[in-house]
C-alpha cells in the first residue's frame, strides 16, 4: 500500500512539493519584513523635528522622517525674463529632504542628539545660461538679501573709509573696477582684493561712450578691463557693468562673447551727487526689497551711508551681500545640514 501511494507521484510532482516546502519559510520571512524591520535601532533620546526616534528601527524611523519632511520642501523656480526691465531674473533651486540620508544620520546619532534634516536640491528646467545676452537688474525677491555694487574709477581718498565701513557692519559688496584705474593705482585695487570683496569689470576706460560704441569697440573695452584685473589682481571677473549704465545690444553681445554677465542695478544712491547721507538712507530703506541691487561709489558720504543703512536693512531682514551670492541659485537652508547632490 505504501509503495502504491508513492508510486502515484512522478518525479516532477516530487520536485514541486520539495520546492514549495523549501520556499515557504522564505516567503513568510519576506512578508514579515513588510511590517517589521529587524535592522539597527535608533539610540535613546534621539529626535527629529521635535519627534522622538529613540528605539525605532530603520523602517519605523523612515516612516516618521517621511511624514515630518512633507512640509520641508520648495519647488525650483526657473529663470524668467523681467517684463519691467527686459533683463533676466535668475533661477532658484528647489529642495526636499533626502529621507535615506536623514534616516542614516538618525541611526548613527549619539544619544540625546537632535537630527538635522539633510536636503537634496531640485534643479529648475530653465537657468540664466539660456539667456547669456540678457542683463540682470535684480535678484530673486524670495532671497532675504540685497547686493551692494560699488563702481570704482575715482574717489581714492574715500576708498579706505568705505572698506572699513563695510567691514564694521559685516556687509559684503562687489567692486566694479575700471581697468585704467587698476593700472594707475594697483595698490588701491589690491586693498579691495585683500579685504576679501568680490571683483568685477567696469570696462577699461570710463572715457569711452559705450552707447555709441561699435561691437568691436565695446568688446575691446570689456576684454581689456578684464585682462587688467586678471593680470594685476589675479582674478577673472565674470560680471561686467557698463559706464554710466550705457547699454545697447552691441554691449550685451560683446559681454556675452567675453563670457561675462552684464549687471545693472535696481536702486541708485546717486551718491556721486552728494545728496546727503540721510536722504540716501531714506531712499534705500524705502525701496529696498529682497533681490535689490544697490549702486554706490566711493564718495565723502558713502561710508557713513553704509554705517547707517546696513543695520537698518538687517532689521528689515535683508543682508547686503555680493552680486555672486545674490545670484547664486542655491537656497539658504534654515536648520538644515546641507545639500546632497
- Between CA 250 and CA 280 the distance in angstroms is 33
Check residue 338 and give its pLDDT. 46
* Residues counted in the chain: 341
With CA atoms as reference, report the closest residue to 195 among 230, 170, 178.
170
Contacting residues for 138 by C-beta, under 8 A, at least 6 apart = 82, 85, 87, 89, 266, 291, 292, 293
- At residue 170 the predicted structure's pLDDT band, cuts being 50, 70 and 90, is very high
Do 223 and 201 meet the contact criterion of CB atoms below 8 Å apart? Answer: no
333 has pLDDT over 90 = no
Check residue 4 and give its pLDDT. 35
Check residue 38 and give its pLDDT. 55
Which domains, and CATH codes, for the chain? 47-125 (no CATH), 145-327 (3.20.20.370)
288 has pLDDT over 70 = yes
With CA atoms as reference, report the closest residue to 92 among 141, 163, 162.
141
What residues form DSSP beta bridges with 136? 263
| pLDDT tens digits, 134-155 | 999 999 999 999 999 999 999 9
- Between CA 233 and CA 193 the distance in angstroms is 7
Pairing relation of β-strands 47-48 and 51-52?
antiparallel
249 has pLDDT over 70 = yes
Check residue 336 and give its pLDDT. 52
With CA atoms as reference, report the closest residue to 197 among 165, 219, 220, 226.
165
- Between CA 319 and CA 196 the distance in angstroms is 17
Of 206-210, 255-259, 321-325, minimum mean pLDDT range: 206-210
Q: What is the pTM of this model?
A: 0.82
Q: Tell me the mean pLDDT in the region 107-124.
A: 95
Amino acid at each position: 500500500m505504501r509503495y502504491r501511494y508513492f508510486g502515484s507521484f512522478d518525479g516532477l510532482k516530487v520536485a514541486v512539493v520539495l520546492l514549495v516546502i523549501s520556499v515557504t519559510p522564505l516567503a513568510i520571512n519576506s512578508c514579515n519584513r513588510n511590517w517589521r524591520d529587524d535592522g539597527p535601532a535608533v539610540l535613546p533620546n534621539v529626535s527629529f523635528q521635535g519627534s522622538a526616534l529613540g528605539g525605532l528601527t530603520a523602517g519605523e524611523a523612515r516612516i516618521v522622517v517621511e511624514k515630518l519632511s512633507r512640509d520641508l520642501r520648495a519647488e525650483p523656480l526657473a529663470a524668467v525674463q523681467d517684463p519691467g526691465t527686459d533683463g533676466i531674473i535668475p533661477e532658484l533651486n528647489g529642495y526636499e529632504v533626502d529621507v535615506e540620508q536623514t534616516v542614516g544620520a538618525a541611526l548613527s546619532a549619539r544619544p540625546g542628539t537632535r537630527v538635522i534634516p539633510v536636503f537634496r536640491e531640485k534643479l529648475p528646467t530653465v537657468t540664466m545660461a539660456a539667456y547669456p545676452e540678457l542683463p540682470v537688474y535684480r535678484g530673486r525677491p524670495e532671497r532675504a538679501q540685497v547686493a551692494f555694487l560699488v563702481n570704482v574709477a575715482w574717489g581714492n581718498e574715500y576708498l579706505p573709509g568705505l572698506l572699513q565701513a563695510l567691514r564694521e557692519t559685516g556687509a559684503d559688496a562687489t567692486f566694479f573696477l575700471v581697468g585704467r584705474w587698476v593700472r594707475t593705482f594697483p595698490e588701491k585695487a589690491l586693498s579691495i582684493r585683500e579685504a576679501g570683496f568680490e571683483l568685477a569689470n567696469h570696462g577699461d576706460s570710463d572715457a569711452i561712450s559705450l552707447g555709441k560704441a561699435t561691437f568691436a569697440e565695446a568688446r575691446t573695452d570689456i576684454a581689456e578691463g578684464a585682462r587688467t584685473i586678471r593680470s594685476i589682481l589675479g582674478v577673472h571677473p565674470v560680471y561686467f557693468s557698463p559706464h554710466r549704465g550705457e547699454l545697447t545690444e552691441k554691449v550685451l553681445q560683446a559681454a556675452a562673447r567675453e563670457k561675462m554677465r552684464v549687471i545693472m542695478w535696481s536702486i541708485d544712491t546717486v551718491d556721486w551727487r552728494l545728496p546727503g547721507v540721510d536722504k540716501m538712507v531714506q531712499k534705500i530703506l524705502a525701496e529696498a526689497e529682497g533681490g535689490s541691487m544697490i549702486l554706490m561709489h566711493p564718495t565723502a558720504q558713502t561710508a557713513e551711508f553704509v554705517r547707517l543703512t546696513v543695520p537698518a536693512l538687517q532689521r528689515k531682514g535683508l543682508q547686503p551681500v555680493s552680486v555672486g551670492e545674490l545670484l547664486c541659485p542655491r537656497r539658504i537652508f534654515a536648520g538644515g545640514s546641507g545639500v546632497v547632490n
